[in-house]
Structure 1
């Protein structure tokens, strides 16, 4: 995505892979292979039968676990963990060195990088532990009947939130327990899963939980969510089937590829009334919405007087 190059043919073996990415212990690789096999069977059934797992069924739990497993196992997540550890760790050390007058240590601090050992395994464990947080999200299946394919990426689970910023003191969040969370996962060029907060949004599905997309612009904006969340690469069946998506990405490239969020420091008070510093980092959010397919179930806040999703772009816009 940095180069903007389109590669029509590339070996699959070298994609989204790295030697000893998880661990040098073969046990983990073997166990992950078993999980991938189960995941493949479930996704194949969803695609072929247009099957949405019933709420709280075994397949439903497996689906949520598969989604969290996928989020936790990517380079994007590992890089995010290292970035947070580096920013928070150095901020804490800086305060200690300043308090203790250690100017000699402060001089070297910017040369230090703090990372998480076994970060990918830690991320996978954390995400799998949190999978029940997705249990109250409504699952919908989007079937693509347009002339534009869905795309996927090296970080295929896109997290978004289309709530107006006024609904939260820190803006719309993409934490797994956040109000207004949206989860998008393309399964094929023609099928995409959407998980949405049923207390905030009402997805315009049929009685089977299916949404059929006939307009290319619908698909393009869903694809743009992938562009925002991707680490380095987008994947598609053929460039000839995603021309509008690639064109839209190039036009919005600066918006879609912002710099990582920086740590903020806010003066605060402890419960004992002592002065303190609150360290926080607001995650990037590619807010996705649609006037035709997604509406607010309840008014989102004082800035909106309508139950209809405000338009941040022409149709399925991203909010920046």
Structure 2
């Protein structure tokens, strides 16, 4: 019986899309840039009881088996032409689930989880008539040290993410085919959300599933990468039958740098002959790399008439500190003074 205590947040089947022998993969450590030639797949992007128990792991193994077939067939086809609707829905669900299950996602959500728990406890303490004012003050002074259970919250976010996948249906899928002599790489957080249209907007989140300008990148092999884009915000040159041949090394480097920035601990690649290439990409970006933490903003809220609503707690995922300039992608950049909140159907 397989040991289920070592639980993966990037499934092993995905690693095999990039592995030469199906067992090992090349690794670059995001923190120090060191590389390893033969790292066992079974030990990558995993932790002991990462999901907390075996129930979630058992369910994910069933789901991953379904997703594995969908991604494998898409990789072999190399195009979205003729891709059946049921498989496409499963692809979007896989994409959202994969994004939500990583260590990076856990770290981004934790500040908001902690703050919501602290606010809940604050209300409970203030409303507890059995406590004296002195006891309330003492307990309230300890709230700042309270932390939520990240496993429990992440499991709920994973379940919600599958339902959110339907909001990506309007995005246009393109298969990027790498025609250069450098490979696509991936990280322990392989699904990257980016918004080049709204890159100047920093005071609120612009990576939501319904946000105008959303771009999604998902490597599928050293030669294949899935791109989903908002056709009302971007124009792509050279797409034929849902396929775009990427021939410029600068574009491949930019796509790979997104993976380095999105990674929590590690970046992976297929063959060790590319170790100097991957290391050089890391060297170029290392001073810009940041830990993944969500932003929590607390501010007074007001209704449409200007009447106060009390404090509002707002949390969002910041953009990566890297905005690629792709040769094949054309777009405007919205300035912060011109930004108005909207969803894609409203923006269109």
TM over 0.5: yes
CA distance in structure 2 between the partners assigned to 1:19 and 1:258 by the alignment? 22
CA contact (8 A) 1:189 1:237 kept: yes
Shift of 1:178: 0.8
Q: What's 2:271 paired with? A: 238
| Residue 86 of structure 2 is aligned to residue 58 of structure 1 | yes
More relative contact order, 1 or 2 (CA 8 Å, 6+ apart): 2
Shift of 1:81: 3.0
Distance 1:120 1:259, change over 3 A: closer
Q: What's 1:215 paired with? A: 248
Q: What's 1:4 paired with? A: 33
| Residue 148 of structure 2 is aligned to residue 118 of structure 1 | no
CA distance in structure 2 between the partners assigned to 1:18 and 1:282 by the alignment? 26
Q: What's 2:76 paired with? A: 48
User: Where do residues 3-22 of structure 1 align in structure 2 (5 Å cutoff)?
Assistant: 3-22=32-51
| Residue 191 of structure 2 is aligned to residue 162 of structure 1 | no
CA distance in structure 2 between the partners assigned to 1:161 and 1:44 by the alignment? 28
CA contact (8 A) 2:108 2:292 kept: no
Root mean square deviation, CA, Å: 3.0
CA contact (8 A) 1:159 1:174 kept: yes
CA distance in structure 2 between the partners assigned to 1:30 and 1:301 by the alignment? 45
CA contact (8 A) 2:98 2:191 kept: yes
Shift of 1:45: 2.1
CA distance in structure 2 between the partners assigned to 1:258 and 1:125 by the alignment? 25
CA distance in structure 2 between the partners assigned to 1:198 and 1:57 by the alignment? 19
Secondary structure class of the residue paired with 2:37: coil
Distance 1:72 1:11, change over 3 A: same
Shift of 1:174: 0.7
- In the alignment, structure 1 segments of 5+ residues that lack a partner are 304-320
Q: How many residues align?
A: 300
Range that drifts further, 254-263 or 119-128: 254-263
Q: What's 2:143 paired with? A: 109
CA contact (8 A) 1:68 1:128 kept: yes
Q: What's 1:290 paired with? A: 325
